[in-house]
Amino acid sequence: MIRSIVRNGLLAAVCTVVLFSSSSSEALDSSPAAAKVVVTPLASVTTTASGQPIVLPQKNVQVLVSSFEIPPGATLPVHKHPSARYAYVLEGQLQVTNVDTGKGTSYKAGDFIVEMIGEWHQGANVGAEPVKLLVIDQVEEGTSNTVLKE
């Protein structure tokens, strides 16, 4: 029952974002003028950071939401994700590098990241302040979405 409610809630949230993704900013008109809700789309993508199509788990999807705080100068271990991972940069500057191609991308506060799937990569805080991320994983229930390179 709870799983169904979570899935339906997630589906409703995604539909709401899609409804308002056609313009840069819209106000919902059901409130008085001084109390309007403003929806500002942050991303609308169909591919990962490395250009792969986004594919979701086919059964028993579990949504995991985490916050990350990466101190200045810290580098994450080389890793990959078997399923979709999304991150919103709240603070700081993050450099993500695909270790196979050497291609790196910098992200700053306000950026939305659709991480690469199944490709070895590494993140590093390249700024003077902590990197704070809101991370959302969609995995097959009971599985992890991070595989460390040995």
Same domain flag for 84 and 139: yes
pLDDT value at 68 more than 60? yes
pLDDT value at 40 more than 80? yes
Residue 142 pLDDT level (bands cut at 50, 70, 90): very high
Same domain flag for 33 and 49: no
Same domain flag for 68 and 113: yes
The answer to whether 119 touches 39, Cβ cutoff 8 Å, is no
Same domain flag for 25 and 56: no
What's the CATH number where 137 sits?
A: 2.60.120.10
pTM of the full predicted structure?
A: 0.74
Same domain flag for 15 and 59: no
Same domain flag for 65 and 126: yes
Phi, psi (deg, nearest 5) at residue 15: -60, -40
| pLDDT tens digits, 76-113 | 999 999 999 999 999 999 999 999 999 999 999 999 99
Range of the domain at 36: 1-41
Same domain flag for 18 and 54: no
Same domain flag for 18 and 56: no
Same domain flag for 106 and 90: yes
